[in-house]
Amino acid sequence: MDSLRDLWPKRQEIAASKRIKAMNNKESLFKRLIFLIVKMKLVNTLMRAVLSLLAPLFPEKFLERIPVVGEISVSLPNTGTLVLVSDGRDQIASRLYWSGLFSYEPGTVEIYLHLLKHSKVAFDVGAHTGLFALIAALYNRQMEVYAFEPVPRIFGYLTKNIERNGFYNVRPVCRVVSDYDGKVSFYEPKTVTLPSSASMVRGFTIEKTEEVIVPTVSLDTFVKESGISRVDLLKIDVEGSEDRVLAGARNILKRDKPSIICEVIRGTTEGRLHSLFNQTTYRFFRITGKGLVPEDTVSGGVTEEDWNYLFITENKVSEVLKGLTVL
């Protein structure tokens, strides 16, 4: 039996843990209360009007955190304007409202727009509220776009954005994309805003999560069942399971050799992705704000600015990358 002297540090540790938990709960309640006030339409409209006048006095990063309620218009170069509908929970929409299209993953958006010139069928895996899928649909209304988003409350925003823009060439799919067909545990952060780190990987985020069982599908199965004859472009952002998405698309990679934009976060998937592509003709390019950086291996990025890679086959490099900056 532990002595009182041995138990004392344990009791202190438990008490400290309880205090931290209580503080976090209070902070969470405070954040929720502030958010509920800020997202009231009248309050939000007045606040944005004032902040717009004072914008030069604030850092962009500060403004981008301010929720926006209503319709956010986003202009695409030489293409047109798309609309995102938000009740303040969509942080990406708020960011685009304050700072424009290229405030969100600017290097990736630029590369994506360029790749659309060479694409007729695009898959957005981990579509969230649909920015990349909507960009593709607006860029070419004849393009077939498939947007996969497994989180039901986010999927609702995705479908609303598709409908608001009148895009009949986007098919939303509420399923987890993996390397098999069936079901899987999925960990959804319980946040006041729409989560951006829901994942099949337990512990991927430090936020409190809820475990739910969701249906899965492999891209090979989806393509076969849907009768899709070709896939030109894959954009994949699934919080630590990108390798599983590609493992379930081996037939597509072999048949179509699509260009792939893929998130690679350090310490997660880089080794498995490198192994998957190592014996193929795919080349690796890290996407940066200054251009594409050729890499011999797949090594994950540390910050949002260098998380994404472009995987493209050798025979497409000279034609498809023409006009882009390759460092």
| 179 within some domain | yes
Q: Tell me if the pTM is above 0.75.
A: yes
Q: What is the mean pLDDT of the segment spanning 9-25?
A: 41
Q: Which amino acid is at 303?
A: T
| 159 within some domain | yes
User: Residue 226's domain spans which residues?
Assistant: 105-320
- For residue range 45-78, list pLDDT tens digits in order: 787 777 777 777 777 777 778 888 899 999 999 8
Q: What is the pLDDT of residue 58?
A: 72
Q: Is the pLDDT of residue 283 over 80?
A: yes
Best mean pLDDT range from 32-46, 127-141, 207-221: 127-141
| 100 within some domain | no
- For residue range 226-264, list pLDDT tens digits in order: 999 999 999 999 988 999 999 999 999 999 999 999 999
CATH number for the domain including 270? 3.40.50.150
Q: What is the pLDDT of residue 267?
A: 82
| 223 within some domain | yes
| 87 within some domain | no
Q: Which of 292, 327, 323 is nearest to 306 (CA)?
A: 292
Which residues is 326 bridged to in the sheet?
A: 292
Q: What is the pLDDT of residue 7?
A: 46
- Residues 192 and 28: their CA atoms lie apart, in Å, by 9
What sign does the dihedral 62-65-70-75 (CA atoms) show? positive
Number of domains in the chain: 1
Q: What is the pLDDT of residue 285?
A: 95
| 279 within some domain | yes
What sign does the dihedral 163-165-166-172 (CA atoms) show? negative
| Complete DSSP assignment for 9-39 | HHHHHHHHHHHHHHHHHHHHHHHHHHHHHHT
Average pLDDT across the chain, whole number: 86
Q: What is the pLDDT of residue 16?
A: 42
Q: Is the pLDDT of residue 30 over 70?
A: no
Instruction: State how far the alpha carbon of 140 is from the alpha carbons of 23, 133, 167, in Å.
Output: 50, 11, 10
Q: Is the pLDDT of residue 4 over 60?
A: no
Q: Which of 280, 282, 281, 295 is nearest to 326 (CA)?
A: 295
- For residue range 110-157, list pLDDT tens digits in order: 999 999 999 999 999 999 999 999 999 999 999 999 999 999 989 999
Q: Is the pLDDT of residue 97 over 60?
A: yes
Q: What is the pLDDT of residue 35?
A: 67
| 198 within some domain | yes
Q: Is the pLDDT of residue 179 over 60?
A: yes
